[in-house]
């Protein structure tokens, strides 16, 4: 039986649109088994299978990730973390998850377009030193879709549980959001620590904020505001927790599908969610500006009953971080950023650094803030060997006699 629920949120950042369409991807599934990667026309509700045969017999409700750069759709199926090709619908890889720190779970995961990593919540049990018993612990983490290896970022547990209200990534501020039900928790994706954790408030009505997702089109966190009998589209201030209704009138549904989650079309500024059950499932499109329903299509698909884990390919495509790692945020940053040059960027086997002032130290950081290399340097030019680095986003912190400069580089 498909679970139904409701809630809402808001946020901020900047977005550069790419020449991608607003194709909606998701998982079409039937009963008792059979899961297919599919596309959806949200206006008509018609889902079209891309997978020629079933790629799984089940799905896990804990998240999904669409990588627009490798054209892969990832979800947890019956054999592990599955990667499905967006063009063929065929399974390209299945990975058994592995956490070096202990057996556990990986939940609420999403793909971050600004550093090409999948982030989620790693849950496992740890020993309570006071009682000697086990207690629940939770960490911000990334997962490698190819190997299934989980890498925890948080140095200590940031909580014990989460609500099925959704999750979202602000790729500009590098913050991962989840909800405890009463609080909207933002985790610093560089350090894994708490970035913000305001209590949700509803000054103009509502009790819960659910199915939230971040819009790179206008840097806002949107979701569903649920009262006792009504649902409105809303947004939340991620720093204060204040929830605001956008819809002046209730949308006209009393429940929504947690499985379907939510997604935003950044081109047409429409928020999508699914409501109903069985053959009465409907995908609703709601204007982000007015909160009014602009489309509602009854979902239909040959042999499938549900459409889950909706993701739109162009959402947050090619976004860039605007907040640098804490380690690179030294107060003495150079006032003139042209005093240090780093090239080529993107790089492959070498990165060249040239400076107008005497070089003193060069530090290389991963996008999550982990220090990879620290080198003492002299003169005004230095070459850093980078052939062993994986593809991704890195930060160089260059210390010279004139100060410190941080430069984002891409391999």
pLDDT digits (tens, 9 = 90+) for 93-109: 999 999 999 999 999 99
How far apart are alpha carbons 41 and 91 in whole angstroms? Answer: 23
How far apart are alpha carbons 272 and 45 in whole angstroms? Answer: 11
Confidence at residue 43, expressed as pLDDT on a 0 to 100 scale: 94
208 CB-side CA count, 13 A = 21
Enumerate the domain spans of the chain.
Answer: 4-312, 326-410
Which residue pairs, CB below 8 angstroms and at least 24 apart, start in 75-83?
Answer: 75/27, 75/309, 76/106, 77/35, 80/148, 81/106, 81/143, 81/145, 81/148, 82/55, 82/56, 83/145, 83/146
Task: Give the global pTM.
Answer: 0.76
For 307-361, give the DSSP string. Answer: EEEEEETTTTTT---SS--GGG--TTB-S-GGGEEEESSS-SSEEEEEESS-EEE
CB contact at 8 A, 89 and 55: yes
pLDDT digits (tens, 9 = 90+) for 33-42: 789 999 999 9
The class that CATH gives domain 4-312 is mainly beta
Report whether pLDDT(135) > 60.
yes
Report whether pLDDT(328) > 90.
no
Closest CA to 177 of 230, 133, 235: 235
pLDDT digits (tens, 9 = 90+) for 157-195: 999 889 989 999 999 999 999 999 999 999 999 999 999
Confidence of residue 277 (pLDDT cuts 50, 70, 90): low
How far apart are alpha carbons 49 and 39 in whole angstroms? Answer: 7
pLDDT digits (tens, 9 = 90+) for 364-384: 887 656 778 889 989 999 999
The class that CATH gives domain 326-410 is mainly beta
């Amino acid at each position: 039986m498909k679970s139904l629920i409701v809630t809402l949120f808001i946020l901020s950042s900047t977005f550069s649109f790419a020449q991608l369409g607003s194709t909606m991807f998701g998982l079409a599934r039937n009963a008792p088994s059979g899961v297919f990667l599919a596309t959806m026309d949200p206006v008509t509700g018609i889902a079209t299978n891309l997978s020629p045969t079933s790629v799984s017999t089940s799905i896990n409700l804990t998240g999904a990730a669409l990588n627009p750069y490798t054209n892969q759709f990832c979800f947890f199926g019956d054999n592990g973390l599955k990667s499905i090709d967006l063009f063929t619908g065929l399974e390209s890889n299945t990975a058994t998850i592995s956490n070096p720190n202990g057996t556990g779970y990986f939940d609420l995961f999403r793909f971050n377009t600004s550093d090409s990593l999948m982030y989620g919540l790693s849950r496992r049990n740890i020993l309570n030193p006071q009682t000697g018993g086990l207690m629940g612990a939770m960490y911000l983490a990334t997962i490698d879709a190819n190997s299934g290896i989980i890498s925890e970022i948080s140095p200590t547990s940031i909580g014990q549980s989460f609500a099925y209200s959704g999750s979202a990534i602000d790729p500009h501020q590098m913050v991962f959001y989840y909800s405890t039900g009463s609080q909207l928790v933002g985790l610093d994706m560089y350090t894994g620590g708490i970035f913000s954790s305001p209590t949700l408030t509803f000054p103009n009505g509502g009790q819960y904020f659910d199915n939230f997702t971040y819009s790179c089109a206008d840097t806002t966190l949107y979701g569903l505001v649920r009262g006792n009998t009504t649902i409105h589209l809303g947004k939340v201030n991620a720093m204060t927790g204040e929830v605001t209704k956008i819809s002046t009138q209730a949308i006209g549904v009393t429940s929504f599908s947690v499985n379907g989650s939510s997604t935003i079309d950044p081109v047409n500024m429409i928020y999508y969610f699914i409501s109903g059950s069985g053959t009465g499932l409907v995908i609703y499109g709601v204007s982000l500006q007015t909160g009014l329903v602009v489309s509602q299509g009854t979902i239909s698909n040959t042999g499938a009953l549900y459409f889950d884990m909706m993701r739109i390919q162009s959402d947050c495509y090619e976004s860039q971080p605007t907040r640098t790692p804490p380690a690179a945020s030294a107060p003495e940053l150079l006032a003139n950023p042209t005093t240090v040059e780093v090239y080529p960027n993107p790089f492959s086997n070498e990165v060249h650094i040239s400076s107008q002032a005497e070089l003193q130290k060069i530090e290389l950081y991963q996008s999550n803030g982990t220090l990879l290399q620290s080198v003492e340097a002299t003169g005004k030019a230095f070459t850093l060997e980078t052939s062993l680095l994986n593809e991704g986003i890195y930060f160089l912190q260059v210390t010279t006699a004139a100060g410190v400069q941080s430069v984002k580089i891409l391999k």
